[in-house]
Structure 1
Amino acid sequence: MKKIIPFLLLFTVCMAQAGHAQPSFAKLDSWLASHVSDMGGRDMLLIYKDGKIVYSHAVNDMSLKQKMLNKLIAQRQGKTADLGDYTANTRQQIASCSKWLSAALVMTFVDEGKLKLTDTVGRFLPILSKRGKGGITIAECLSHLTGILSPDLKENLQDMAQANNMDEAIAKIASYPMEGQSGKVFRYSNLGLQIAGAVIEKISGQSFETLFARRIAEPLGMTSTDFGKHKVALPAGGATSTPNDYINFLVMILNKGTFNGKRILSESSIAQMQVNRITAEVKVAYSPAEAGNPSYGFGEWIMGNGTVSSPGLFGSFPWVDNKEKYCAFLMAFYLKPDGRQARYAELKKLVAEAVK
């Protein structure tokens, strides 16, 4: 009987602790359910902390209108819409979440000494020098400080789609006007990462897609993530991924460049990526409304309190909280940005409370 009592006491304590933790995660379940209609009818949240996935939950409740909209978007892209339920292995376009992946890829070349952040792009891409843009640095490419006046997203994507190779894509970018001195104007766009992608192709003699697969996707076990097989890769927005894959990348960022004991990026590169490049002397020419007061590093937004992120146009939201030592990925697919920033802030607060 004496042995049974301590066991019962321990069991009671464990159950009490579990009961205490559960309401926090129940709040996340409720939040995902209550916001699913605002986020395209499907959402999926994955959270990693202390060496493991601590939360994985999806809500699937698409309306007929949302299904029709997804079909229309896919049709315009020449694809077939995937209307199946979200899981942690659902593959989907992640738009600007791609920027973080691509910036990390470029930083692998910096780590190897094959590229410096102060290197100017004209050294590798003479067409940019001929059009007065050769002095733009790699650092400026990674932080939207090229000073090039980008057309709107639709026109830029059309220009890239018409290019037969990366050289033609860069020639088109070279034709765009400058709106200010490089390093002094912040304009959130696809141009800088496209240029950086072209530079590492020149250095390596390999395609951007191959470089990403070998240097980022394979070592991180991102078996379902790629930039497609197009004539021209789109480093700033062309990736397709899954929650399970993208969380591996976030774990690497959280762990200061290591994943499963293997170093992918140096601690120095991780630190460089998380330095705000929008200093007092930088003019913000364009930043998405949902970004609020913008702070930006290399391929990622600096959100304050140790948090970095790279949200996508379609609503997916990856983030790393260095202070609370966790990372998370929200998958969604919708275009209407209204209220998006407030939802991100609300969700992040709930997650931080749940994982403490």
Structure 2
Amino acid sequence: MSYKFQFNCLKFSFIGAFLLLFQLVNAQSFNDSELSSLLTSKQKQLGGNFVAVITNADTSIYKKEAGDVHSTKTVLPIGDCSQLITAMLVMKFVEEGKISLDDKIATYIPSFARYNKNYITIRHCLSHYTGIKQEKAGSRYAKKFKSLEELADHFASREIDYNAGEAFSYGLAGPNIAGRVLEVVGKRKFEVLVKQYLLSPLGMRRTNFNNTDFSAVRPADGANSSAEDMAILVRVLLNKGTYKGKQVLSSESVDELFKIHTTSGVIKTASRLTEGMPYTLAGWGNTTTNDSAASISLFDFEGNTLTIDMCKQYGYVSLVKEPQRLEGAIVTKEIKAITDKEFKSQCP
């Protein structure tokens, strides 16, 4: 080996080591002491067994496992956070021209026409404007149905509380109906479509919508995932649909997901956690710019939470092992207050 070749190898080894050190320093620049103290003090509210991850647009910069959840790779039910995955899959179908957000549901599911629900659109489903009487929170209604087709027909037959598009009523009906539309259009089961279009391309190997009890797949709240996998999903959105240099979702689709769909007075059902917050196609708006949310959060009654801040370019994922009702989700607002101080806004 020549001296020149040895020198070049040494030079590139030094550069590689420097870049690795830079990445480590950058990843460790997040001051986690205050956040760790909060999570430790709130461990009971989070059920004792939970996992939390904070990610920027490139990589996870903070991880905490508690109780008997020993890894960010641990697979847990993610509840209503499933709706983000479903909304992203809908937008993939929109991008490919297979559907439009303003298509009538009855075009794809005839039972909606039979029950005089002709005016409900896919957009109504994702934004919770269907007007269909919602199931009680925490009910196990889906277990009596063996397919998403049966579940969607069930919602078609339910009475309405409001005319479609007139009032926001958060629940599980809309996303489940939208998921059934994708089955009809895609000619495959929802769980197969989501794997094909999103999970496999993103390497989210620990995420699925499979049920061990063989009940209906639930696009609204039936996903299982890990904090590590959900952090990938956050990074896709922070990067306007790009992941590892590959465009998984168009920037226009990401913008559509963050558009606000509620106005003052139309929200008929909201918890004390989301009171006063507008809703997009992908979650509750924390901060807004014009007609879009700069930051969104998803919560469920189990205690799982997910926050994506487009201006400050970070996201937070917290998954709990046991249902905690709203107690676990309430901690999220305290977490956001702490993490917000660590990131400078990139929005004008």
Q: CA deviation at 1:286?
A: 1.2
Q: 1:278 aligns with which of 231, 239, 262?
A: 262
Match of 1:199 among 158, 181, 184: 181
Moved more, 181-190 or 329-338: 329-338
Could you tell me which residue of structure 2 aligns to residue 132 of structure 1?
Answer: 116
Output the CA distance in 2 between the equivalents of 1:104 and 1:338: 25
Q: Pairwise mapping of residues 31-46 of structure 1 onto structure 2 (< 5 A)?
A: 31-46=38-53
Rounded to whole Å, the distance in 2 between the matches of 1:187 and 1:32 is: 32
* 1:89 Cα deviation after fit: 0.7
Tell me which residue corresponds to 2:171. Answer: 189
Q: Which amino acid aligns with 2:36?
A: D
Deviation at 1:304, TM superposition (A): 1.0
Q: Could you tell which deviates more after superposition, 230-239 or 113-122? A: 230-239
Task: Give the AA of the match of 1:115.
Answer: I
Indicate how the Cα distance of structure 1 residues 187 and 207 shifts in structure 2: closer, same or farther if over 3 A, else same.
same
1:355 to partner: Cα distance: 4.4
User: Is 1:57 aligned to residue 72 of structure 2?
Assistant: no
Among 276, 289, 295, the residue aligned to 1:293: 276
Instruction: Kindly indicate whether the alpha-carbon contact (under 8 Å) linking 2:256 and 2:281 is maintained by their aligned counterparts in 1.
Output: yes
TM-score, structure 1 normalization: 0.82
Deviation at 1:154, TM superposition (A): 4.5
Please report how far the alpha carbon of residue 43 of structure 1 lies from its aligned counterpart in structure 2 after TM superposition: 2.9
Calculate percent identity across the aligned residue pairs: 26
Aligned length: 312
Residue matched to 2:285: 302
Partner of 2:6 in structure 1? none
1:101-112, aligned counterparts within 5 Å? 101-112=85-96
Who is 1:3 aligned against?
Answer: none
1:272-351 alignment, distance < 5 Å: 272-280=256-264, 283-305=266-288, 306-337=294-325, 340=328, 342-351=330-339
Deviations 1:240-284 (Å, cap 9, x if unpaired)? 00011000001001111111111111111111111111124x622
1:190, distance to aligned residue in structure 2 (A): 0.6
- Quote the residue 1:235 is aligned against: 219
| Counterpart residue number, 2:340 | 352
Query: What's the Cα RMSD here?
Result: 2.0
What amino acid sits opposite 2:239 in the alignment?
Answer: N
Q: Distance in 2 between matches of 1:283 and 1:23?
A: 39
Distance 1:340 1:231, change over 3 A: closer
Counterpart residue identity of residue 61, structure 2: V
> Is contact 2:191–2:209 with CA below 8 Å preserved after alignment?
yes
Deviates more, 1:136-145 or 1:300-309: 300-309
Q: Unpaired segments of 5 or more residues in structure 1? A: 1-13, 61-83
SS at match of 1:103: helix
Return the alpha-carbon distance in structure 1 between the equivalents of residues 30 and 149 of structure 2. 55
CA distance in 2 between counterparts of 1:212 and 1:338 reads: 28
SS of equivalent residue, structure 2 residue 66: strand
Match of 1:73 in 2: none
Distance change >3 Å, CA 22–CA 34, structure 1 → 2: farther
The answer to whether the Cα contact below 8 Å between 1:32 and 1:59 also exists between their aligned partners in 2 is no
> Which amino acid in structure 2 is aligned with residue 35 of structure 1?
K
Which of 22, 25, 28 is equivalent to 2:35?
28
2:137 matches 1:162:
no
User: What is the CA–CA distance in structure 2 between the aligned matches of 1:150 and 1:116, rounded to whole Å?
Assistant: 24
Q: How far has the Cα of 1:118 moved from its partner?
A: 0.9
Q: TM-score, normalised by structure 2?
A: 0.84
Q: Whole-Å Cα distance in 1 between the matches of residues 36 and 79 of structure 2? A: 25
Q: Distance in 2 between matches of 1:336 and 1:284?
A: 24
> How many Å separate the matches in 2 of 1:144 and 1:183?
9
